[in-house]
Structure 1
Amino acid sequence: MIQAHAVRLFTEHGYDATTVTDVAEAAGVSPMTVYRHFPTKEDLVLVDQHGRLVAERIVASSAAQPLVRRIGGALVDSATALTGRAPGDDLTASERFLLARLRLMISTPALRARHLDNQYALQQAIVDAIGDEATDPDTAFHVQVAASACLAAMHTALVRWAEDDGRTRLPDLIAKALAAAFGDDIVEGAGGIDISEPTGRAERR
């Protein structure tokens, strides 16, 4: 609820022009309550459940799969969980909220800088989710490289999604970005998405 008010105020009045006190007043709480849940102003935009969702899906995936397929599939599946839109449906409330947050991240220098920190944190969450499979330094390095490459593809998809006003489903865009980077077989079937059509259009089976 606090975050929803913050994103609305940042969108309506500008990130720099809106204070944490403004957010607290809109949410009907004290500034200390805001800081208890969001230690910095940037956190009001950047904090989400993405890292937890990605880690859960990697843990549930088969270790027999190629590493990039596991990570890519987790990114696509978590995007499906966060947005929740079926093909042909209008934007969900979750998608509209995520779009507003993304636009703020793209347009606000302070948020762009902190977003990079979030990418590092998500990369580490992926490495941690791989767990005992990445105990030796060489394997851990391999996981870090694979995670970083997948996250770069996802970031490109997120920016495109925001620029496109969410018209294409986010999981489909992430799948297409991963396929462009690693080949169609890396994400084929992830989240029920088929990116193998000659048109290059991602569709749900």
Structure 2
Amino acid sequence: MRKAAATRALLQEQAMALFVQQGFDETTVAQIAEAAGVSQMTFFRYFPTKDAVVFDDPYDPVIADLVAAQDAGLPALERVRLGLLAAWSSVPDPVDGAVRDRIRLIAGHTRLAAGIWENNRRTEDLIVEALTGTGVGRIEARVAAGACLGGLTAALLDWASAPDGHELRDRMNTALDLLGDSGGRGRRTR
């Protein structure tokens, strides 16, 4: 099991190094496999496509479980927000530029940027399933998940494109805090 995880991580590391160095479109699976010292067949055992190397996200089931674990008496938006805050607090902050490089790569590439929303849709589906499994209506679950994931995506892209010294965790927490404030603070009245 450890060898598989190490091979997967090495493939991702080598792929990102090549993507940053020569561009996503210019990098081939053969080059990634060669840089990692494995065959192309081995690459495809771990990733179905080159795009999948960029979008690999092992946290979706954890996020869904943490959303489902929130107090069922809370509004759906608050359950999603609190579940995502719990998920972010359990993930270590990136200590090098690899995550920022990955997000910049995605944001600067039309097809990959569209992939963010496809990746979010998969996460959203799991959150919706978790919420509806506890009695939340489908539309309420979908809107709550979409709002929170949209806020996180905006914060993530902003963090990657405009470094301002704030840690990723701080940026994500700020985005989720703003969604929590949607009940009134900061709204103008007429």
TM range (shorter): 0.7 to 0.9
Deviation, 1:5, is 1.0
Q: Deviations over 1:136-166 (max 9, x none)?
A: xxx0111001111111111111011112337
Deviation, 1:79, is 2.6
Counterpart residue number, 2:173: 175
Deviation, 1:125, is 1.0
Counterpart residue number, 1:150: 148
Of all paired residues, the percent bearing the same amino acid is 31
Q: Distance in 1 between matches of 2:51 and 2:129?
A: 25
Aligned length, in residue pairs: 177
Deviation, 1:13, is 1.2
Q: Deviations over 1:70-118 (max 9, x none)?
A: 2112222323333x24xxxxx514xx33212111110111211222111
Q: Distance in 2 between matches of 1:149 and 1:156?
A: 11
Structure 2 CA distance for partners of 1:30 and 1:148, relative to 1, 3 Å: same
Which ranges of structure 2 fall in alignment gaps of 5 or more residues?
Answer: 1-9, 186-190
* Aligned partners of 1:99 and 1:166 also within 8 Å: no
Q: Distance in 2 between matches of 1:32 and 1:56?
A: 33
Q: Distance in 1 between matches of 2:55 and 2:120?
A: 11
Task: Give the partner amino acid of 1:6.
Answer: A
Deviation, 1:10, is 0.4
Which ranges of structure 1 fall in alignment gaps of 5 or more residues?
Answer: 86-90, 187-195, 197-205
Partner residue of 1:92 out of 72, 95, 98: 95
Q: Establish whether residue 44 from structure 1 lines up as the match of residue 47 from structure 2.
A: no
Please state whether the residue corresponding to 2:134 is helix, strand or coil. Answer: helix
Partner residue of 1:160 out of 149, 158, 161: 158
Q: Distance in 2 between matches of 1:166 and 1:134?
A: 41
* Aligned partners of 2:78 and 2:180 also within 8 Å: no
Q: Distance in 2 between matches of 1:111 and 1:12?
A: 17
What is the TM-score of this pair, normalised by structure 2? Answer: 0.82
Q: Distance in 1 between matches of 2:88 and 2:51?
A: 22
RMSD, aligned α-carbons: 2.4
Mapping for residues 5-24 of structure 1, pairs under 5 Å: 5-24=14-33
Please state whether the residue corresponding to 2:26 is helix, strand or coil. Answer: coil
